[in-house]
């Protein structure tokens, strides 16, 4: 019964996603990289749910390819060394690109991000970019959230608008530099201004009004989009704990391709399961009604104190919803990791999850480019 229901829901979503792709294509007559990626993701979802990992080829729990330029350790990946395959999706972060920094906020050189992103695209994988920009008013980090006028100050007419135009220019320069060998633009799932319903970033819901947030989204989107550049699948990602009012910040059906949820288990397993199901129930119908894709754009249990989390806690919830992918956050080191790593007990359960379910790694999607 559940299976039949799931198939029906999936079919409805596929029809709607194809309709959406077709509708949007009218404004861009030839099929853009964005439309191609959307169509590919919709097709892939008929086969399973992709696994993703942040900063996967840059460092792991017990190695780093970014601290010593003499030892970039190309090709390494905790996920690969845990299960024999790369993740289907690799995520990277642009925080710092706005200032023209050479490295991002987690010390990954932007040249490395470009190389790894292109390499993953060439392997047949999919890439996603998030952005933790500094606070343009104070010069602090993305988490410098005490001032409630930051968003207003960078919108047109604001006293920081000119500065922010330069920041967006740096983002655009980087994004437009992402070509594969045939100089074809690489499609990217782009996930700016995430977790607005939290109050930890300067673009959070306690830091700006929904109107200001939507204006912020539109300003960046309109700045980046052009006749020649329609490469970004736009992901709007609230954080776990979605309330009805959070949708006041939804930028609009013509401005979002993918509904994402950032969902970590910080508290008890019971609370996480309850909250995750509550949010995915709401977001999956919101996405289905609009023909949008749905994903867990960030997820994890920090340091996996429960190694069975993949198979026992997370996957059974994912299975109830039409989810395109789930992306575990970065393996920053022994003090902070969310993905599997060789020698870690959770890698056994991670392997069990990908062997015995519809979870798709790189090899499962690379034939379908």
The footprint of ligand BMA (CB under 6 A) covers 93, 105-106, 132, 329-330, 332, 336
Nearer to ligand BMA, 315 or 330 (CB): 330
Give least dist CB 105 to ligand BMA, A.
Answer: 5
Q: Kindly tell me which of 10 and 105 has the beta carbon lying closer to ligand BMA.
A: 105
**Contact predicate 119/149, CB 8 Å:** no
Q: Which is nearer to ligand BMA, 95 or 322 (CB)?
A: 95
Which residue, 35 or 331, has its beta carbon nearer to ligand BMA? 331
Taking the complex as a whole, how short is the minimal distance between the CB of residue 93 and ligand BMA, in angstroms? 5
Q: How far does CA 303 lie from the centroid of its chain?
A: 20
Task: Give 229 or 264: the residue with its C-beta nearer to ligand BMA.
Answer: 264
State the nearest-atom distance from the C-beta of 330 to ligand BMA, in Å.
6
Residue 19 CB, shortest distance to ligand BMA, in Å, is 35
Instruction: Quote the least distance from Cβ 3 to ligand BMA, whole Å.
Output: 36
């Amino acid at each position: 019964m559940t299976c039949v229901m799931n198939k029906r829901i999936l079919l409805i979503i596929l029809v709607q996603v194809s309709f959406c792709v077709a509708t949007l294509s009218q404004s861009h007559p030839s099929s853009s990289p964005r439309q191609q990626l959307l169509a590919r993701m919709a097709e892939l979802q008929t086969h399973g749910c992709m696994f993703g990992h942040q900063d996967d080829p840059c460092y792991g729990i017990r190695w780093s390819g970014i601290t010593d330029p003499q030892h970039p350790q190309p090709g390494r990946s905790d996920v690969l060394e845990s299960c024999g395959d790369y993740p289907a999706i690799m995520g990277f972060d642009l925080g710092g690109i706005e200032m023209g920094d050479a490295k991002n906020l987690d010390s990954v050189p932007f040249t490395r991000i470009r190389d790894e992103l292109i390499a993953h695209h060439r392997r047949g994988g999919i890439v996603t970019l998030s952005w933790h920009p500094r606070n343009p008013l104070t010069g602090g980090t993305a988490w410098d959230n005490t001032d409630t006028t930051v968003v207003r100050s960078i919108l047109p007419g604001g006293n920081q608008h000119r500065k922010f135009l330069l920041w967006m220019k740096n983002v655009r320069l980087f994004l437009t530099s992402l070509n594969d060998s045939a100089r074809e633009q690489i499609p990217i799932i782009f996930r700016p201004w995430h977790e607005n319903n939290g109050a930890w970033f300067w673009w959070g819901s306690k830091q700006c009004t929904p109107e200001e947030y939507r204006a912020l989204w539109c300003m960046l989107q309109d700045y980046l989009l052009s006749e020649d550049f329609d490469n970004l699948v736009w992901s709007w990602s609230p954080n776990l704990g979605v309330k009805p009012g959070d949708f006041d910040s939804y930028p609009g059906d013509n401005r979002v391709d993918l509904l994402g949820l950032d969902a970590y288990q910080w508290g008890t397993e019971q609370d996480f399961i309850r909250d995750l199901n509550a949010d995915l129930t709401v977001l999956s119908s919101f996405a289905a009604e609009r023909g949008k894709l749905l994903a867990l754009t960030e997820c994890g249990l920090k340091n996996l104190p429960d190694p069975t989390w993949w198979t026992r806690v997370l996957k059974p919830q994912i299975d109830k919803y039409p989810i395109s992918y789930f992306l575990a956050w970065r393996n920053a080191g022994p003090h902070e990791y969310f993905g599997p790593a060789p020698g870690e007990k959770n890698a056994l359960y991670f392997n069990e999850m990908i062997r015995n379910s519809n979870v798709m790694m790189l090899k499962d999607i690379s034939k379908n480019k």
